[in-house]
Amino acid sequence: MGTLKRFFQDTFIYGLATVLPRLMYFLLIRLHTDTLENASYSDNTTFYIYAAFFNVLLTYGMETSFFRFFTHDKKNKSKIFSTALISLTVTTLVIFTLVLLFNKEIADFFKLNLVYFNFLLGVLALDTLVVVPFAYLRASGKPFKFSLIKLSNVFIYVLLNYFFLWAIPKYNIHFMESFKSEPVQYVFISNLAASAFTFILLLPYFFRTKLEFSTSILKKLLSYGWPIMVAGMAYVINENFDKWLLPQLLGKDVNGAYSACYKIAVFMTIFIQGFRLGAEPFFFSHAKEKNAKTTYAFVMKYFVILGSLMLLFVTVYLDWFKQMLVANSSYWVAISIVPVVLLANLFLGIYFNLSIWYKLIDKTRFGMYLSLIGALITIILNYLLIPIIGFMASAYTTLIAYSSMVVISYLLSRKYYAVPYDLSRILMYLILSTSFAFTSFYVFDNHKLIGTLLLFLFLGIIYVKEKKEIIQLLQS
C-alpha cells in the first residue's frame, strides 16, 4: 500500500497542477461567454482545434517515447534527454521557418484568418520546444517545479485575458485599438505571451546537459513514438471533429453554444489529466515489480469510483455549474449534452488507464489502431446523425467512440498483458452512477432533492463495498 500511497500523492500534486489552472480557466469560460458572441466563441474553439492537431504532429510521440526509454535505460539518461531535445528543437525550427515563408497560402488552405494563423504558429512553436524539458521534470520526479511552471503559464494567460477583455473596455483603456473590432484576437495574444514566458523559464534545460546526439537512440524514440503520434491525431479527431463540423452543418452560433456547454464537462477532464500526469511515470517505473498488475487493477477500480462520483455530482448540480461558468443564457440551448459528455470522458479516462498494456510491451501500434477506430466512428456518426438529431448527435457519438475503444482495448489486453481488473465492481459503479445521473437529469428534470438523494445513496454503496480497503490505504 505504501507504493500506492506514493502514487496517489504524486497524482494529487500533478492534479493540482491541472486543477488550479482549470479553476482559472473556469473564470475564462465565464469571461469569454460574457464578452464574445457565439460565433466568435466558435472561432476561438476552431483556433484550439488546429493547435491541438498540429501540436501532435510537431511532437511526433516524443514525450511518451522519452518516458519509456528515460525510465528504463539508466545508463543513457543524459544521451536520451539530449537526443530528444535536439530532435524536437531542430524539427520545430525548420518547420516554423518553412511555414512562415508560406503562411498566407497555408492559412488560405485551412480557411483561417492570416492573423489568427500567425498567432497559432507562434504558440505551436513555443509549446513544442518545451515538451522535452517538461517531460524531464515529470520523469525526474519533480512535480512541484513542473506544477509551478504550469501554473505561471496559466496565470499569465488568464491575467492577460482579463486585461484585454475586461479591463480595457471597462476603463476605456487605449491599447492595441486595432484588435477591438475582433476581441477574440486578444485571447490568442494572451496565449502567445504565456507560451513565451514558459519557454524562458525552461530555457536553462536546453543547456543543462552535454549536447550529444545518438542516431540509434533517435531511431528507438521514433519507432516507439510514431504510432503514438497517429493515435494522438486520432484522439484530436475524437475530441474535436464535432466542433469542426458543427459550424459547417449547423452554423457558428450553434457550435459556440455546444462548445461552451462542452466546457462544463471540464471537471472530468481535470480528473483525467491529473491522473495521466501522475500515472504514466508511475506505471512505467513500477512495471518490473511482482505485484505490478495487482497495483494497476487497484488503481483502475478507484479511478472508476472517483470518476463515477464526479459524473453524478456534476450532473446533479448542473444548474449551479452552468450559472457559475456560462451565465449567458444564449449558450444554454446545448446544456443537455453535459451528462453524456461527462460519461464519454469517463470512458476516455478508463481507456487511458487500460492503455498501459500496449505501452509496457512496446506494442504502441495497438494504441494507433484503437484510436483510428474511434476516429472512424466519430467521423461517420457525426456526418450521419447531425443532420437528423442536431448537436446531440455529437455528444452521443463521442460516448460511442470512447466506450468502443474501452471494450476493444480490454479484450486485447487479456491476450497480451492480462491485468486482474475487478470487472464486476467496475461495471457496478459505472452502471449505478450512469443510471442515477441520467435519471436525475433527463427523467426528473434535474430535481435537486432527488438528485442529492441518489448521490448519497451512491456514496453509501461505495462506503459499504470499499470501507476496508480505504482504511487500509489511509493507514499505510
Residue 431 belongs to domain spanning:
2-475
Question: Which cell numbers hold the place of 15?
Answer: 492534479
Rounded to 5 degrees, φ, ψ at 187 are -65, -45
The packing angle between helices 114-129 and 131-139, to 10°, is: 30
Q: Give the torsion through C-alpha atoms of 202, 208, 213, 214, to 10 deg.
A: -100
Contact in structure between 234 and 371 (CB atoms under 8 Å):
yes
- pLDDT number for residue 361: 82
Residue type, 188: F
The pTM score is: 0.79
Rg (CA), the chain: 22
List the one residue out of 41, 61, 27 whose CA is nearest residue 158.
27
Confidence of residue 362 (pLDDT cuts 50, 70, 90): confident
Asked if 279 and 60 count as a contact pair (C-beta separation under 8 A), the reply is no
Q: In this structure, what C-alpha cell is assigned to residue 214?
A: 545518438
Q: Identify residue 123 by its one-letter amino acid code.
A: V
* Residue 170: burial class (beta carbons within 10 Å; 0-12, 13-18, 19+): exposed
Assign residue 313 a region (left: φ > 0; alpha: ψ between -120 and 50; beta: otherwise): alpha
Query: How do residues 80-124 score in pLDDT, each as one tens digit?
Result: 888 989 999 999 999 999 999 999 999 988 888 888 889 999 999
Q: Angle of helix 365-389 relative to helix 215-249, nearest 10 degrees?
A: 10
pLDDT at residue 40, as a whole number: 85
- Please check whether residue 52 is in contact with residue 236, taking contact to mean a CB–CB distance below 8 angstroms: yes
pLDDT digits (tens, 9 = 90+) for 390-421: 999 999 999 999 999 999 999 999 998 888 99
> Smallest Cα–Cα separation from 58: which of 143, 151, 122?
122
Considering only the C-alpha atoms of the chain, give the largest distance between any 2 of them, rounded to a whole number of Å.
65
pLDDT(273) > 80: no
Q: How far apart are CA 155 and CA 280, in angstroms?
A: 26
Is the torsion defined by CA of 225, 228, 233, 239 positive or negative?
Answer: negative
pLDDT at residue 281, as a whole number: 65
pLDDT (0 to 100) of residue 11: 59
Amino acid code (one letter) for 408? I
Task: Give tens-digit pLDDT for 341-361.
Answer: 999 999 999 998 888 888 888
> Degrees (nearest 5) of the Cα angle 286, 216, 57?
75
Secondary structure of the chain as H, E, C letters = CHHHHHHHHHHHHHHHHHHHHHHHHHHHHHHHHHHCCHHHHHHHHHHHHHHHHHHHHHHCCHHHHHHHHHHHCHHHHHHHHHHHHHHHHHHHHHHHHHHHHCHHHHHHHCCCCHHHHHHHHHHHHHHHHCHHHHHHHHHCCCHHHHHHHHHHHHHHHHHHHHHHHHHHHHCCCCCCHHHCCCCHHHHHHHHHHHHHHHHHHHHHHHHCCCCCCCHHHHHHHHHHHHHHHHHHHHHHHHHHHHHHHHHHHCCHHHHHHHHHHHHHCHHHHHHHHHHHHHHHHHHHHCCCCCCHHHHHHHHHHHHHHHHHHHHHHHHHCHHHHHHHHCCCHHHHHHHHHHHHHHHHHHHHHHHHHHCHHHHHCCCCHHHHHHHHHHHHHHHHHHHHHHHHHCCHHHHHHHHHHHHHHHHHHHHHHHHHCCCCCCHHHHHHHHHHHHHHHHHHHHHCCCCHHHHHHHHHHHHHHHHHHHHHHHHHHHHC
Higher model confidence: residue 288 or residue 223? 223
pLDDT: which is higher, 174 or 160: 160
Residue 341 to residues 23, 347, 367, 438: CA-CA distances in angstroms?
Answer: 19, 10, 22, 12
Percent of the chain scoring above 70 in pLDDT? 89
> What is the torsion angle, in degrees rounded to the nearest 10, for the CA atoms of residue 342, residue 323, residue 248 and residue 242?
-10
* 225 pLDDT tier (thresholds 50, 70, 90): confident
**pLDDT at residue 285 is higher than 70:** no
What percentage of the chain carries pLDDT values higher than 90? 41
330-346 per-position pLDDT tens digit: 889 999 999 999 999 99
Decide: residue 467, CB within 10 A, 0-12 exposed, 13-18 middle, 19+ buried: exposed
How many domains does one find in the chain? 1
Q: Output the CA angle 52-140-348, nearest 5 degrees.
A: 40
